[in-house]
Amino acid sequence: MNFLKRSALITVLAFMGIPVVQANDEVTSLPTIRVMAESELREEVGFVPFQEDKQVRQSLQHYVYKVHNDMQNAGIPEMRTVVDYQPMAAPPDLSQFSPILQQYILAVASGFQSSDPTNGLFKMLEPLNLNRNSAEGIRNGTIKINVDDILRLRQQFQDGLRGF
For residue 141, give the amino acid letter: G
pTM above 0.85, yes or no: no
Length of the chain: 164
54-98: pLDDT as tens digits = 999 999 999 999 999 988 887 777 777 777 777 777 777 888 888
79-90: pLDDT as tens digits = 777 777 777 777
pLDDT of residue 61: 94
Whole-angstrom distance, CA of residue 153 vs CA of residue 58:
83
Residues 112 and 120 sit within 8 Å (Cβ to Cβ): yes
